[in-house]
Amino acid sequence: MQHSINTVDPQELQKFEAMAAEWWDPNGKFRPLHLMNPCRLGYITEQIAAEFNRDLGQSEPFEGLRIIDIGCGGGLLSEPLTRLGADVLGADAAERNIAVAKIHAEQQGLDIDYRAETAEALVAQDEQFDVVVNMEVVEHVADPQEYLNECAKLLKAGGLHICSTLNRNAKSFAMAIVGAEYVMRWLPKGTHEWNKFITPDELFAFIAGAGLEPIDKKGFVFNPISWSWSISHRDLSVNYVTASVKPR
């Protein structure tokens, strides 16, 4: 008999349920994601375009691709990916997040399949996708390896997995915990737990353990002078992102 899998951390879920109503407030508790979103979206779209030979100059370059945005929150990535022509399923274990995402998508006239589901629940439903977008989620789950195993099962052969998280070192503690939560007060205190941050080597090992082949990694770097984010080929010291593929 197959054992029951549950990758959700109830305490982490409770944190995001409490903040759900503020997802689309650019000056609210999710301000860091609003600031980072153009950078995140740029990386995601470039990786998808390269892997599936799509022209980002077209109006709907991702037409025909099925994408899942796991841990979609209020839909900050699901909406632009839908506008690019993709068939998007936004999944989040927090029901309040999904309620907010549905209302906002309706207001924008967007048809997005939002579900209050976990990765393992979608695996049980035999769902399959060309792309799994998995941004800033893995540091919040109960078991990163088990969680990524389930994410890999959602990918079609030849599919693309994009996963971002936070590195674990003194700099990330200073910036993501002390800076973001206590000094800048961008996030409520306790949003992140530093001991759950994951180094790039650890994440690559988890990804490989899930049967995926890592193909890229980049850093997301914040510039306090320009108040903007950029992609770095070298600096993965705090926020970083990876791309991997499922062998055919």
* Distance of alpha carbon 73 from alpha carbon 93, whole angstroms: 9
How far is the CA of 58 from the CAs of 54, 62, 83, 242, in angstroms? Answer: 8, 9, 12, 25
Pairing of strands 239-245, 155-166: antiparallel
**Alpha-carbon gap, residue 88 to 81, rounded angstroms:** 7
pLDDT digits (tens, 9 = 90+) for 142-169: 999 999 999 999 999 999 999 999 999 8
**Which candidate, 97, 96, 51, places its Cα nearest to that of 71?**
97
Residue 230: closest CA among 241, 219, 245, 216: 219
Confidence band of 1 (pLDDT split at 50, 70, 90)? very low
* Tens digits of residue pLDDT in 192-226: 676 788 999 999 999 999 999 999 999 999 888 88
Is the pLDDT confidence value at 232 over 70?
A: yes
Mean pLDDT of all residues belonging to the chain: 88
Q: How confident is the model at residue 187 (pLDDT cuts 50, 70, 90)?
A: low
One-letter-per-residue 3-state SS of the chain: CCCCCCCCCHHHHHHHHHHHHHCCCCCCCCHHHHHHHHHHHHHHHHHHHHHHCCCCCCCCCCCCCEEEEECCCCCCCHHHHHHCCCEEEEECCCHHHHHHHHHHHHHHCCCCEEECCCHHHHHHCCCCEEEEEEECCHHHCCCHHHHHHHHHHCEEEEEEEEEEEECCCHHHHHHHHHHHHHHCCCCCCCCCCHHHCCCHHHHHHHHHHCCCEEEEEEEEEEECCCCEEEEECCCCCCEEEEEEECCC
- Residue 170 clears pLDDT 90, i.e. is over it: no
* pLDDT at residue number 19: 52
Task: State what percent of residues in the chain have pLDDT above 90.
Answer: 69
Confidence band for 28, pLDDT divided at 50, 70 and 90: confident
